[in-house]
Structure 1
Amino acid sequence: MSSPDWNVLVPNLLITAAVAAAVLLVTFAVAVRRGLHRVVDIAWGIAFGSVAVVTYVLSDGHGDDGRRLLAAAATVVWGLRLAVHIAHRSRGHGEDPRYRALLDKAPGNPTWYALRTVYLLQAGLVWLISLPVQLASYSASPLGPLDAVALTLWAAGLTFETVGDRQLARFKTDPANRGRIMDRGLWAWTRHPNYFGDALVWWGLYLLACTTWQTALTGLVSPVVMTLLLTVGSGKRLLEKHMAQRPGYADYAARTSGFLPRPPHRSLSRHRR
């Protein structure tokens, strides 16, 4: 195994930091003009894809071509699917309650507070979480058995979140389900199949960077941070705080895993509506 050439990797890291910041700053300008900060959720996947594409171009001649292409393609596919899904889901809706609550508590000017605590913070997170994609792109090691495991994890995660999102979308389009809690399909096994799928995707992308012990240690921050964001950060925690007052949610939470999929609790499943 060969370690990336840090003399060429460091400039890539600086350029991708600028790329992530640029995507989020453009999004900030759009959000201010529209008066709608929820558009930042669409930019999240686009920013990851932009970092991956720029890295793929810059790493030409410095890393294994197969690994470079796999890292870039896997990130772009995940990022674009997520962006398109969120854009479709958000169409016709007003401000996200999370951002409304955040800005209502903003000290001073809410717009500049949003810039610091939402847009610039997300730009930094995109850059940090993208480390495995950048490390993998500068590795000269050819693809091997561990990369097959990485691709399997990535595919499983993408499938899990895609199926979960589609199941929820179909559930919401049925007027008979208005006011009810989605507890079918994958949502019977975990309260957050989309978040669990996201975590699997990034653990898979992390394995692509595990070509040396140095890159394995350096890139580990990515899936750990992503998993923490999804479970105790702005993902699961805030969503469940918002959902807690919905009728039937407490019973659903009691019988359904909060993250890792497992069969619903049998002693409570008989009380499903």
Structure 2
Amino acid sequence: MSGLSIALCGLAASAALALLTWIASLLRHDVSLVDRTWGLMIAAPGIVYAALLPDAWPRAAWLLPLLLAWAIRLAWHVTRRNWGHGEERRYQAIRARNQPGFAFKSLYLVFALQAVLAWAVAAPLFAAFVGGRDFGWLDAAGVALAGFGIVFEAVSDAQLSRFLGDPAHKGQVMDRGLWRYSRHPNYFGECCTWWGMFLLGLAGAGVYGWWALVSPVVMTVLLLKVSGVSLLEADIGERRPKYRDYVARTPAFFPWRPRAR
């Protein structure tokens, strides 16, 4: 198979998961199910590339465990967090804006879009597996950065889950642990993961792998400007006044010591 055919097989894998999630969303009347499979839609092309690209191994032996650890943990975390809460507020707003016929419209407005974005984010996986270069220092740097990001994100999510699960913290703002140094340490960890994956893509494809820069750039823009920081903080200061003081003293993204108040 040609490289283009294999890349399109990766897109088909993301699209198939998106389609299955769309069908489930019709049954559950819950478009936010897409968040639960987002990480899996990114991982699916990587599995396809590892299976079909003849030069994928042995680099895949390093990259696939990182990829699956990130994707499975994220899917589990989002599923557990959202279980029993129904459709998320932001998706309810999208549903309201696109009536009538949102059930069908969501196929392309939400699920097809997510599949294409997931495929774009998975670009370094193709680059890493297509080149067949020897494992070197750039691979080691990519593994270290991606591994750090996965652990940083997981610890951040676990700290927030424990905080929110304690009734004594109702109405309070999480400003402990990693959240003392960043308002969104989980997003910072996720960005580190995909910049690390990009380094692995460069290690595999060399200078011809620069096109895989689309992955960390897309992920960073999504987390900072689209579905992450900007969206979550759009009205949180009005709903939770204590958050304004948290914003004043705590960096939004890159962890750093809190500012004096």
RMSD over aligned Cα atoms: 1.3
- Aligned partner of 1:123 in structure 2 is 115
Residue 263, structure 1, aligned to residue 257, structure 2: yes
Map of 2:3 onto structure 1: 9
Contact 1:71/1:137 (<8 A) preserved: no
Aligned to 2:225: 232
CA distance in 1, matches of 2:197, 2:189: 13
Alignment of structure 1 residues 1-273 onto 2, 5 Å: 8-59=2-53, 62-106=54-98, 108-211=100-203, 212-215=206-209, 217-245=210-238, 246-266=240-260, 268=261
| Larger mean Cα displacement after TM superposition, 63-72 or 83-92 | 63-72
Cα deviation, residue 87, structure 1: 0.7
The list of structure 1 runs, each at least 4 consecutive aligned residues, that deviate by more than 3 angstroms after superposition, is none
Task: Tell me the alpha carbon deviations over residues 11-48 of structure 1, each in whole angstroms, 9 at most, x when there is no partner.
Answer: 11111111111100100000110111111101101112
Q: Bigger CA drift: 137-146 or 62-71?
A: 62-71
Change (3 A) 1:100 1:242: farther
Structure 2: which 5+ residue stretches go unaligned? none
> Alignment length, in residue pairs?
258
Distance 1:192 1:145 in 2: 30
TM-score, normalization by structure 1: 0.91
Larger mean Cα displacement after TM superposition, 237-246 or 162-171: 237-246
Identity of paired residues, percent? Answer: 38
Query: Structure 1 stretch 25-34 or stretch 134-143: which is displaced more?
Result: 134-143
1:152 and 1:141 map into 2 onto residues whose CA distance is 19
Deviation at 1:103, TM superposition (A): 1.1
